[in-house]
Amino acid sequence: MTRQVVNTVRIAASASRLRTANSNINNAFTTLRNKARQLDNSWKSAAGDTARQTMHSLFQNSDVRSQVIMNYVNILQQQVDPGYVNAENTNVKLADKFK
């Protein structure tokens, strides 16, 4: 049977890096969204309308992307990392009862 090792320190570090990357992406999209809003009144054509609709759709998809990443980060930080530690502590206590 293959031995599996869970490195909780790396799980926590990875979750932190994901949170930071998500924040950086969100900041970039916020800047882009603000620039797009400045252009909204300038684009008065069918092509401009299409471009605006496409950009606003992209921004909405970014919000969904951000939430999915944050859900994953929260699972790592609130369930996987502490859950593994709690399970291992329980297993050690149970094993000690049979010694």
* Three-class DSSP labels, 69-90: HHHHHHHHHHHHHHHHHHHHHH
Write out pLDDT tens, residues 46-88: 888 888 888 888 888 888 999 999 999 988 888 777 766 677 7
Give domain status of residue 20, yes or no: yes
Residue 80's pLDDT is 78
Residue 35's pLDDT is 86
Write out pLDDT tens, residues 7-52: 888 888 999 999 999 999 999 999 988 888 888 777 778 888 888 8
Give domain status of residue 68, yes or no: yes
Q: Is 30 helix (H, G, I), strand (E, B) or coil?
A: helix
Give domain status of residue 99, yes or no: no
Give domain status of residue 19, yes or no: yes
Counting the structural domains of the chain, the total is 1
Residue 44's pLDDT is 78
Q: Mean pLDDT in the chain? A: 85
Residue 26's pLDDT is 95
Give domain status of residue 3, yes or no: no
17 is in which domain, residue-wise?
A: 8-92
Residue 1's pLDDT is 64
Residue 19's pLDDT is 96
Give domain status of residue 1, yes or no: no
C-alpha dist (Å) from residue 49 to 9, 27, 90: 49, 25, 60
